[in-house]
Chain A
Amino acid sequence: MGDLVKLYSDYKDHADFLQVYVREAHPTDEWEMKKNLDENVCYPQPKTLEQRVAIANDFIKRFHFPMPFGVDEMNNAANDAYAAWPERIYIVDENGRIAYRGGMGPFHYKPEEARAWLAKRFGPVKTPEKPASAPATAPEPPVSSPAKS
């Protein structure tokens, strides 16, 4: 979670991001895990699109999730097309081709691989560990001359 938000804030100036909400991995009526109870994330598997959208909105509210967001329809079209469940990352290049294909979560879900791809393409991003004590924006080089003369 935190990894993703950091990835987004580090590279949102270079790449577009889209979070796609797919069917729940550990709903209360299927495979609920102890972790869900500890974190108070208890939802039954959505049966309608309204329920899905409502959970997605809860998620965004709870984590102040900043990324562009889309919800998979009840036919699970996106999930099926990308073998997405329970979690997976892809990078699509400018020509619409798969450039990076992450492994199936949770064991092969590795945001650091996506970061490595972006770092290779755009260079590593150095962000200070304590953003509060650092200046909000890096100093921009001054514009050499106004566009109009």
Chain B
Amino acid sequence: MRIWKWIGIGFGGLILATFIGLCVMAGGVRDAYGMLRYALPHMHRGNLRVGEDAPDARLVALDGVSRFHLRERVGKRPLVLIFGSYT
């Protein structure tokens, strides 16, 4: 059963190499861990397609009180939607 030993070592090595690659990509061990721990569950490719109706959502204005709907901004001109956060 020596072959299983080598398969195990190869598999372990592959996982280690992937993690090291992730560290390089993310900028450090801590960031790679954070990516696995916090980012992966939220990473969605989404299923909106070009040509589909843009979904609506209610948004809050910067005063923190008034609300408006995203679809209200669709009008005579194309609407560029940029999603993001500060950090």
Contacts and interface: CB of A to CB of B under 8 A. Distances in A.
Given A15-B79, A18-B80, A89-B81, A70 B68 contact: yes
Interface residues of B, number: 51
B46 A83 contact: yes
Contacts, number: 207
Size class of the A contact interface (CB-based, 8 Å): 35 or more
Given A20-B83, A53-B63, A67-B82, 11 more contacts: A22-B83, A31-B34, A57-B62, A68-B73, A71-B60, A81-B56, A83-B44, A84-B83, A85-B83, A86-B84, A93-B78
19 contacts: A14-B78, A16-B80, A21-B84, A26-B34, A31-B34, A33-B27, A53-B60, A53-B63, A54-B64, A55-B85, A70-B68, A79-B83, A82-B81, A86-B85, A91-B80, A92-B54, A98-B48, A98-B54, A101-B46
A18 B87 contact: no
Contact of A15 (B39, B45, B78): B78
B49 A87 contact: no
A33 to B, nearest CB: 5
A127 interface: no
Contacts of A94: 74-78
Main secondary structure of the interface of B (DSSP, over half): loop
Interface in A61-115: 67-73, 77-79, 81-94, 96-101, 104-105, 114
B80 A55 contact: no
